[in-house]
Amino acid sequence: MKKVRLRLSSSYDVHIGPGMLTQTGHWLMESGLSDRAVIITNPIVKELYGEALEQNLAREGFEAVTLQVPDGEEQKSLDTATSLYHELSKCYAERTTPIIALGGGVIGDLAGFVAATYLRGVPLVQIPTTLLAQVDSSIGGKVAVNHDQLKNKIGAFYQPKLVISDISTLKTLPDKEFANGLAEVIKSAVVWDREFFTYLEMNLDSLKALSDRELEEAVFRSVKIKAEVVEKDEKDLGLRSILNYGHTIGHAIETAADFGIGHGEAIAIGMIAAARISNRMGILDIKELNRLTDFIRRADLMIETPRLALERIIQAVRHDKKVMAGKIRFVLPKAIGDVFITDKVEPSLMEQVLVGFNEES
Ligand code: NAD
Ligand code: GLY
């Protein structure tokens, strides 16, 4: 078992290890949380882990109520948040009643948003059950719902009281969900920690085989990286945006493909594209670019036949540019483990790099 402490405006611990879910009651009491709790989850996660959590809480003397929302990104909405407010009122949730978000990033963001706003804020406990949620979304306090076709349009910075990352839950993840998280793990290493990248290269097979030791280490080191970045820039005013490495082009690819491509694959292409841009700008050495590309291929994150819809991707980037007052910000690697932020990437260079993907297929 491992622990990371986030030292923020409101500090908290992230507990990482196998079987952690069934120690939730203990960690809640250690954090001074009340003897009532509301679990927010979805039917898929409830079926897998709801009973184990409820039993643990009952054994530790908690009175817990479980609220469910359907599965899916579309539940990150004000409508679903409103129905959760009604449910919370019906079960007499008070200012001191913790909300436990049990699930992936969708549940974490939605339940986090509800916790941030209900009664002007009730304690939030994150129990992330996807790799992406364990290494990224449960850490750092961004909570939100989507609105007006825009992702995370309405939200807050609201830090949890506690994060419990049970790596055993990752064993039931569909492959594509594991791949989404793996892309974020690789991103963390590339932006901050060259030695972690080497560790991932050496241990990729065990990680993909879901070995407890490597899973725990990969989640721990990714959380540590995110903690260090967020501690330096909690409100996302500068440095924190390095965590968007691979996401500028990655998001455009997801939009252009109408979300018919995995998030992890889109981010993987985005990371390689940004690395190629940096190489063509004379910054990233070709050996580093090849090392990154080889590793992403080994991680099975390169899609087989990209045939990227170039025009649509470029349109999507241009749309983002309008949204961001004419400037598109790229996070580019100088070397593996070291990145910088720039808005000086020529659109023609980005286009050349994307054309390159199509020529390879
Ligand atoms: P998700 O929450 O939709 O989960 C993916 C799927 O896996 C769902 O069908 C879910 O029911 C299922 N699932 C969850 N745990 C499981 C388990 N242990 N076994 C089997 N199935 C399981 O998706 P996600 O990738 O976890 O999160 C994506 C969301 O996270 C997006 O809404 C994104 O905007 C958000 N996000 C937020 C932040 C942040 O800082 N707040 C960062 C990154 C992403
Ligand atoms: N996922 C990026 C962030 O938390 O800032």
Contact (Cβ atoms closer than 8 angstroms) between residue 177 and residue 104: yes
Tokens of 235: 């409100």
What pairs with residue 64 in β-bridges?
37
Asked which of 172, 195, 230 is the last residue of a domain, the reply is 172
Q: Are strands 2-6 and 12-17 parallel, antiparallel or unpaired?
A: antiparallel
Does 42 contact ligand 1 (Cβ within 6 A)? yes
Q: Which of 119, 152, 172 is the last residue of a domain?
A: 172
- Determine the Cα–Cα distance for residues 251 and 243; give it in Å rounded to an integer: 13
Rounded CA-CA distance 276/286 in Å is 9
Report the chain's terminal Cα–Cα distance, integer Å. 43
Among 250, 214, 244, 213, CA closest to 226: 244
The CATH number given to whatever domain includes residue 46 is: 3.40.50.1970
Whichever domain contains 259, its CATH number is: 1.20.1090.10
Residue with CA at minimum distance from ligand 1 atom 38: 137
Comparing C-alpha atoms, which of 23, 317, 336 is closest to residue 188? 336
Tell me: do 188 and 155 sit in the same domain. no
Q: What is the pLDDT of residue 326?
A: 67
Q: From the CA of 49, give the closest atom in ligand 1.
A: 18
Same domain, 140 and 183: no
Q: Are residues 202 and 324 in the same domain?
A: yes
- Report whether 78 contacts 113 (CB < 8 A): no
Which has the closest alpha carbon to 102: 77, 72, 68?
A: 68
Q: Is 243 in the pocket of ligand 2 (CB under 6 A)?
A: yes
Nearest to 55 by CA among 35, 10, 25: 25
> Does any ligand 1 atom lie closer than 6 A to the CB of residue 15?
no
Cα diameter, the chain? 62
Residues 268 and 156 occupy one common structural domain: no
Domain count, the chain: 2
Residue 271 tokens, joined: 């990371």
Same domain, residue pair 43 and 187: no
149 and 183 in a single domain? The answer is no
Task: Give residue 324's pLDDT.
Answer: 66
148-176 pLDDT, tens digit per residue, is: 888 899 999 999 999 999 999 999 999 99
- Are residues 167 and 186 located together in one domain of the fold? no
Same-domain status, 168 and 263 = no
CA–CA gap between residue 58 and residue 80 (Å, rounded): 27
pLDDT in tens, 8-18: 999 999 999 99
- Please check whether residues 204 and 157 belong to one and the same domain: no
pLDDT at 261: 85
41 CA → ligand 1 middle, Å: 11
| Binding site membership of 240 for ligand 2 (Cβ less than 6 Å) | yes
84 CA to middle of ligand 2, Å?
25
Domain-terminating residue out of 118, 153, 172: 172
18: CA distance to ligand 2 center in Å?
25
Residue 261 domain boundaries? 175-360
Residues of the chain falling short of pLDDT 70:
303-307, 321-326, 361
